Each structure stands twice: as structure tokens, then as C-alpha cells.
Structure 1
Amino acid sequence: MQQSALAILATFNEERFIRACLENLIRQGFEVYLIDNESTDRTLDVAREYVGHGLIHIESLARHGIYSWERILQRKVEIARDCEHDWVMHVDADEIRLPPPDFGTIREAIERVDSEGYNAINFVEFCFVPTREAPDHEHPDFQKTMRWYYPLRPCMHHRLNLWKRGDAQVDLTSAGGHRVSFPGLHVWPADFPMRHYLFLSAAHAKAKWVDRIYDPEELKRGWHRSRAELRATDIALQSCRELRLYRSDAELDASDPLSSHPVLTRHTDTEPREV
């Protein structure tokens, strides 16, 4: 039986990324449920173009002037619990999730994973960033022009957030959305790739991290420290000579991954975080 798949996406002022993200998710065989955290830019204007064409619902989640990541993740768990899809993925707008090389789409790959009795899939993260030589990619064709990346793997299953729905209670918050957990977790042994576009310029990084107002209760627990303590003067672009050049998805190089993001290395977090 063909497996249905739902991607749950939360946004706040993601007009830079929302079109590319939605088009990729729909192309990969997902239906998409969008939680908008009271965006003030054109995020919703763009998203509404896809309603009925892969985007099945848009809901508004009140922001109350702060970024509350745990509340967003808890809402995602509720949606995953109540939906009728076979598989669910927690995804962010700046990510391009991809299938393994032998499959045309993620949904096709899910069929294989499911048929062999596995119920969760991990992604290997390839982080794309602007460079000193090419510092500004704030335009719709950023995927074509921002071609330098590094692989990131702080732990074994760093992006374990595509899973098969079942009766067991799901925990998505303990690892900040990076790793789902539930009784009977059985992870497919091969990682799927994902391209993660961290920021498109130094000004975008400032707007994304430095200007954000974080939930005080989450800060007390040690969450978001690397982002909450970041200053605009800390944002230093790497040279393209320090990074790997993207040629194709099939040639993404996961060898010798970094354990942290270079732009955030002077800060430390407890685990729950979002980039």
C-alpha cells in the first residue's frame, strides 16, 4: 500500500525561503501543513499560492512578541498525532530535504524504508553559507548562486525527524526538534541528504538570530544560548577556500563533518535549539 506523507512546517518571516521549500516538499511527494507564527513579511502571500496544490492547511500560532520554540514543537507533535498520514516530517523553511541517490523522491524512498520494517529516517546536514568572496544571496535564485557548504554532524542521528506514525507517544522537544523519539524506534541505516541554507547574507543572519526575542523561560533552561548571545560583530563569513563547492546533490560530500557551526563556535548551547 502506498504510504502518505505529511511535512509540518513552521514559519516566521520566511519570505526568502518559503517558495523554494514548499515547491521542494511538494515535489518530494509530501502534503504540507503550515503553522505561521504571525509573520509580518510576504510569507503568507507566497504560501497561499500553494493552498490546494500540496499545501493542505495554514494555521496561525500567536507569537506574543517572542520566539517560543518548544511551543511550536509541541504544536507539531499534536498535528502529527491527529493527522491521517502514514509518515510525518518536521521541517524548517530553510531546508531542502532530498531522497537518497537511488530514488526519485523522498516518498518513493519511504516506500522502501517502510517495506523493510523501519519507522524513522535520519538526514545528513549540508550547511550552505555565503562567503567573503560572494557575501550576498538575498534573491530567489539563492540555490544557484550560494554553492559553498560544509557537512555538520554533532552526533549520530542529528536530524532524525522523519518518522512513521503509530500509537506510541512521540517526543520532539527534548532534542529541540533535531531527533524524534518514541518506544520502538527503528532507524533506517542510511542517511537521507538535506541542504540547509543557514543565512543568505550577514544582514540576514543578524535579522534571523541577533534581532530575535527569545523566550525567557527557554533561555533559563540553557536553550538558544549561541543565538541569543550572538552579536552582529560576531558574524564573520568564511572564505570559499575553507568550504566545499556544490556541484550536484549526488556529489555532496559528508566526509569529515564539523560538530558545530563556525559562525556560532564561541557560544555553547544545551541541546534543544533551532538554526
Structure 2
Amino acid sequence: MRIIALLAIRNEALYLERCLRHLSEQGLESYLIDNDSTDPSLEIARAWLGRGLIGIESRPYPGFYDWRGILERKAELAAELGDHWYIHHDADEIRQSPVPGRTLAEAIAAADAAGYDAIDFLEFVFTPTDRTQDARGTDYVAALPHAYHFRPNPLHRVNAWRHAGPVDLLSFGGHRAEFPGRRLSPEPLILRHYPFLSWEHLVSKYRHERRYSAYEVEQLGWHGKRAHFDPNAARLPAPEELIRPDVEGWRTDRPRTTHPFLEG
């Protein structure tokens, strides 16, 4: 059984090596869409061809973050590559089984064997807790041990699926793979999300680097406060607001419905 992570990137050199290595070690393949990266991302990706990365394609950068076009292309890829499992994946994510010693591929295979064709993920957002922390260029998983469980609505991250027909990734902005007769596994898996690695990285990413489609923001209502990021309103959560999953486990008793670094 093949499981393919569909990744779209633009200038993700901070994350890409770790992301591709983790996917390979977890028994997955990956396919990359590059949006005209100007940093070393493409060089990093090419080194993984034949080592888990099965293909790289170029997608022109139109001057903004074309999320709608990216989602449409990922849905097309799932049809073109065949009847396999897929994960709609980002470079700043690490996905895993909640069961120690079980790989992600083994967890997905177990869901498949039980007759399920879609899987939800519990999202845990790992962030710095003060403005002096900087995990860029480091083992950011070790450097950022604090997280919060992010659950703004039920079925927040149905990002893994197996379906022989068309899949709809647009209706929920990439958060849910929709298709007729979907059989969702009752056992969610884990998503570690590292949206930024320092305060400087946060401000640079959302204030300067990321440009959003006016159509997506104004007509589709996507991207929320990311599209109008205000560093004066943003804050980093204190350690006492967070959990340490490596110590406490994947606690879901204090879910957040907003991000402190966007909502203040």
C-alpha cells in the first residue's frame, strides 16, 4: 500500500529537510510542488529524489499565495497518481501516530484494513514562548517543546484519504477531504504544527513574505487574520498556558479555537 504526501512549497528551506526525512522514515512517499522558491528549497528537495520523493513539479508564483490553485492541483495529482492513500501536507508539519513505536504508515494501514478511507488529525501547535527564542537552524522539535491543542471545529484536519474518484479539497479550504461515501476512522492521528520558529520569523512570514489572493480573502473568506497580520496585536503564549506533549502526552482537555500569535 502506497501513502503519498502532497507538498506545495515556496521558500521552506527551514523545514523541508526535516519534513522529507520524517516522511521517508515513517514509510511514506512524497510529491513536491515548488512555487518558484528563491531559497535552497529546490536543492534540498532534489537530494531526496529516489529516497522517498517521487517527483517535483514547478508551479509559477503569481505574486501571491494561490491556495485555491494549490488545492486544485493536489486533487488532480491524487487522480493522476492512482488509487493510493494521500495526505494534504505542509512543510511546517510533522504527522505521526499517537502510539509510541508505531509508524505513520502502520497507523494508516491499520485504518485501511479496518475499512476506513479517511483520517482526521489532532493538531498541536508548537511555538516559542518568548521573543528571545530562535529555533531556526536547529532541531526545532527539541527546541520548541510547548504546544496547545488547536481545535476550532470538529473534523478540523481530515487530511488523509483514499478514494478512487475525485476529491474535494476546496469546500473547507484544505482542512477536509470530501468525497461521497467517506468512511472516517474513529481514531485520529497526530499533527505537530510549527508555523514559525521565532518572533522574527513570525513577523517576517506574515507581515512581509506571505501575500494572499484578494479573491480568497474577500470572496471565499479564507486565511482569516493571517491576511491582516498585526504584530502589535500578536503575542506568544506563556509556558503555563501550554502543554508539553513529551511529558504530559497528547492532552486535548484545553483546546484553543484561536491562535495567540494572530488573535492576541
Identify the TM-score tier after normalising by the shorter chain.
over 0.9
Task: Please give the alpha-carbon distance, in whole angstroms, between the structure 1 residues aligned to 2:174 and 2:46.
Answer: 26
Shift of 1:263: 1.7
The answer to whether structure 1 residue 80 and structure 2 residue 78 are counterparts is yes
Shift of 1:103: 5.6
Name segments (4+ residues, structure 1) moved above 4 Å.
Answer: none
SS of structure 2 residue aligned to 1:232? coil
Q: Which of residues 107, 115, 118 in structure 2 aligns to 1:117?
A: 115
Partner residue in 2 for 1:207: 204
Q: Deviations over 1:142-169 (max 9, x none)?
A: 11111110001111111101001212x2
Partner residue in 2 for 1:31: 29
Q: Which of residues 127, 138, 155 in structure 2 aligns to 1:140?
A: 138
Supply the AA of the counterpart residue of 1:257: P
The answer to whether structure 1 residue 186 and structure 2 residue 190 are counterparts is no
Task: Please give the alpha-carbon distance, in whole angstroms, between the structure 2 residues aligned to 1:239 and 1:48.
Answer: 39
SS of structure 2 residue aligned to 1:107? helix
Task: Please give the alpha-carbon distance, in whole angstroms, between the structure 2 residues aligned to 1:77 and 1:148.
Answer: 33
Partner residue in 2 for 1:10: 8
The answer to whether structure 1 residue 227 and structure 2 residue 254 are counterparts is no
Q: Contact 2:124–2:148 (CA<8 Å) still a contact in 1? A: yes
Task: Please give the alpha-carbon distance, in whole angstroms, between the structure 1 residues aligned to 2:215 and 2:69.
Answer: 11
Shift of 1:73: 0.5
Shift of 1:225: 3.1
SS of structure 2 residue aligned to 1:124? strand
Q: Deviations over 1:36-66 (max 9, x none)?
A: 1111111111111111100011111111211
Partner residue in 2 for 1:271: none
The answer to whether structure 1 residue 245 and structure 2 residue 234 are counterparts is no
Q: Contact 1:135–1:237 (CA<8 Å) still a contact in 2? A: no
Q: Which of residues 169, 173, 180 in structure 1 aligns to 2:170?
A: 173
Supply the AA of the counterpart residue of 1:20: R
Q: Contact 1:133–1:240 (CA<8 Å) still a contact in 2? A: no
Q: Deviations over 1:165-202 (max 9, x none)?
A: 212x2100111111110000110001101111121111
Shift of 1:85: 4.7
Task: Please give the alpha-carbon distance, in whole angstroms, between the structure 1 residues aligned to 2:180 and 2:245.
Answer: 38
Q: Aligned in 2, Cα 1:62/1:133: closer, same or farther, shift over 3 Å?
A: closer
The answer to whether structure 1 residue 91 and structure 2 residue 89 are counterparts is yes
Q: CA RMSD in A?
A: 1.6
Range with greater deviation from structure 2 (116-125 or 229-238): 229-238
Shift of 1:254: 2.1
Task: Please give the alpha-carbon distance, in whole angstroms, between the structure 2 residues aligned to 1:150 and 1:126.
Answer: 5
Taking structure 2 as the reference length, the TM-score comes to 0.94
Supply the AA of the counterpart residue of 2:136: E
SS of structure 2 residue aligned to 1:188? coil
Q: Contact 2:234–2:263 (CA<8 Å) still a contact in 1? A: no
Q: Contact 1:133–1:239 (CA<8 Å) still a contact in 2? A: no
SS of structure 1 residue aligned to 2:105? helix
Number of aligned residue pairs: give it: 262
Structure 2 residues not aligned, in runs of 5+: none
The answer to whether structure 1 residue 164 and structure 2 residue 162 are counterparts is yes
Q: Aligned in 2, Cα 1:157/1:61: closer, same or farther, shift over 3 Å?
A: same
Percent of pairs with identical residues: 40
Shift of 1:245: 2.2
Supply the AA of the counterpart residue of 2:6: I
SS of structure 2 residue aligned to 1:65? coil
Supply the AA of the counterpart residue of 2:80: D
Q: Contact 1:147–1:246 (CA<8 Å) still a contact in 2? A: yes
Task: Please give the alpha-carbon distance, in whole angstroms, between the structure 2 residues aligned to 1:85 and 1:184.
Answer: 16
Supply the AA of the counterpart residue of 2:104: I
Task: Please give the alpha-carbon distance, in whole angstroms, between the structure 1 residues aligned to 2:145 and 2:100.
Answer: 23
Partner residue in 1 for 2:252: 254
Supply the AA of the counterpart residue of 1:241: E
